[in-house]
Amino acid sequence: MTTVIFFLLFFFPYLNYYNLVTTNSFDLLSLKNFLFFLVSIFLILIIRRNLFNKKIIYYGIGIGFISFFISSTAILMKNITLLNPSIVSLVFLCLNIFLIIYSIFKGKVIKKKNIKITSNKIKNNLRLIFLSDLHLGSNSQEYLDKVISILSKIQYDFLLIGGDLIDSSSFKLKYLEKFKLLKKKIFFVTGNHEYYLNNTNEILEVLQTNGVLYLNNSSLIYKNLNIIGLNDNQTVSSQKKLALKLKREHLFNLVLVHKPSVWSFIRNKVDLVLAGHTHNGQIFPFNLLVKLKFNFCYGIYKKYESTLYVSSGLGCWGPKMRLGSSNEMLEINLAPK
C-alpha cells in the first residue's frame, strides 16, 4: 500500500505531464508506461531503504500531493476541451511549480489574526493570545525562537495553548524554558500528538516547571474568567460532562480544548470555546476532506450567546507547506457589551 501511495505522489503526476507532451494522450496500459511504472517502483524501494531524512520525505509528500491534483486536472482539461495537449501540459506544469514554491513560502510565514468578542459577563477589557498545533519536533527550535520573538513584541494579558505543542520525543525539552522569557501567564491543554509520545508525563512536568500551567481536566478563575481545560485523550461525551461540571454560572466561561467537536454539545452553556487540530486542511484540496470529518473546520462560529474559534494552527505537520491555509496566531480582545 505504501509503495502505491509513493508512486501516486512521487511519479504519477510527472508521468501525466510526459504523456500529454509526447503522445497527447494517457494510456496506463501502454508498454512505455508499464516500464516507467517498474522503474518507479525500483526507485521507490531505494528511497524507502536509504532516505531516512523525514524532512525530505515530508516535502516529497507535500509536493506530490499538489502535483497529483494539478496533473490530474490537466488530464481532465485535455479530455473536456479542444486545447492543444502540449499547451495544457505546459500551463499546468508551470502552475504546479508556482504552487509548490508558493506553498513552501507560506509554510514559513506566521499570520497574526484579530477578533473581538463582547459579553455582559466581561468586566474589563482583556487581550489574550491563542496558539494551537505548534508541533515542536516536526518544527525546529528555531521556529520556536521565531514564535517567542513575535510574542515578545505583542501586548497581551495571557497566553492559551490548545494542544499539539510537541509531536516528537526527539524534541529537546530544555528548549521549553524559552517560554519563561515571555513573563506571562500561560495555560495549556493536551492534543492528540502529546499522547503518541513515550515521554508524555515528562513533557507535562517540564512544561509546568517552565511556567506553562497544564489544565488537566480542570478550571481556574483568572482575571474574572472561568478558564476550563479539557484533555484530548477522552471521548466528546466525557468532555461535555466535564465542561458542564466545571462551568460557573455568573462568570465568562472560556473552554480550551484541542478538537472543536464538543462545542455542539455545550454551546448553550459556555461563552467561548477555543480549538485547533484541523490545520484548515493545511494543503488544498485536503481541506475539502477535513470538512467532511469536522463540521467546524476553521474560523469563527456563533450560536446563542456562544462563540467557537477553530484555529488553522501555528505550525505545519509533515511537509512545511501551506496552500489555502496559514500558520496562525490569534489575538482575542474581550470587552464588556
In the prediction, which pLDDT does 26 show?
47
- Write down which residue in 91, 106, 121 finishes a domain: 106
In the prediction, which pLDDT does 43 show?
53
Verify that 128 and 84 share a domain, yes or no: no
Calpha distance 132→189 (Å, rounded): 10
Verify that 179 and 280 share a domain, yes or no: yes
- Write down which residue in 47, 74, 106 finishes a domain: 106
Q: Which percentage of the chain shows pLDDT scores above 70? A: 83
Calpha distance 205→207 (Å, rounded): 5
Verify that 85 and 120 share a domain, yes or no: no
Average pLDDT over residues 166-171: 86
Average pLDDT over residues 243-259: 95
Q: What is the CATH number of the domain that holds 187?
A: 3.60.21.10
Q: Which domain does 221 fall in, by range?
A: 110-336
Residue 109's nearest CA partner among 70, 61, 163, 150 is 150
In the prediction, which pLDDT does 142 show?
92
**Count of domains forming the chain:** 2
In the prediction, which pLDDT does 13 show?
64
Verify that 63 and 143 share a domain, yes or no: no
Verify that 65 and 96 share a domain, yes or no: yes
In the prediction, which pLDDT does 8 show?
54
Average pLDDT over residues 73-83: 76
Query: Where are the strands (E) in the chain, listed by range?
Result: 110-119, 126-131, 158-161, 185-188, 212-214, 218-222, 225-229, 252-256, 272-275, 299-303, 306-310, 327-336
95 band by pLDDT with thresholds 50, 70 and 90: confident
Verify that 52 and 138 share a domain, yes or no: no
Verify that 93 and 26 share a domain, yes or no: yes
Torsion sign, CA atoms 11, 17, 22, 25: positive
Verify that 122 and 97 share a domain, yes or no: no
Per-residue pLDDT tens over the stretch 171-230: 889 999 999 999 999 999 999 999 998 888 899 999 999 999 999 999 999 999 999 999
Calpha distance 66→71 (Å, rounded): 9
Calpha distance 11→33 (Å, rounded): 11
Verify that 205 and 88 share a domain, yes or no: no
Given a contact cutoff of 8 angstroms between Cβ atoms, the answer to whether 68 and 13 are in contact is yes
Residue 299 has pLDDT above 60, yes or no: yes
